[in-house]
Amino acid sequence: MLAILAAVASDTVSKIAIGAAIGRGWFAADLAVLASGCLAVGGAAAWLTFAYLAP
């Protein structure tokens, strides 16, 4: 389960790298904001889930 979330997080981070390496400029900046936002919200949701629902 942790591996799945880690893989999804890593895929999300890879979008920052792709944006910076290929897209550059505003596109790269937007992808960095997108990935950071998704990681922050998803991470918070995961933390709450593990804190209150994990066995």
Partner 1 sequence: MDLDELISRLGVALGIGLLIGLERGWRRRGATAGSRAAGIRTFALSGLLGGVIAALALALPKQEAVGAATLAIVLGVAFAAYSAVIALFTRDENQAAGHFSATTAIAGMLTFALGAYALLGDMRVAAGAAVAATALLAAREELHGWVEKITWPELRSAVVLLAMTFIGLPILPDAPLGPFGGVNPREVWLIAIVLASVSFLGYVAVKYFGARRGLLLAAAAGGVASSTAVTIANARRAATREGPPRLLAAGVAVASAVMFLRVVGIVAALKVELLVLVAPALIAAALTALGFAVAWMIWQHADRDEYRSVKFRNPFDLLSVVGFAVFLAVIIVLGRAVGEAFGATGAVAGAIVVGLVDVDAVSVSMVRLTPDT
Q: Which residues bind partner 1 (CB under 8 A)?
A: 1-15, 17-19, 21-27, 30-31, 33-34, 37-39, 41-46, 48-50, 53-54
Main-chain dihedrals φ then ψ at residue 24, nearest 5 degrees: 60, 180
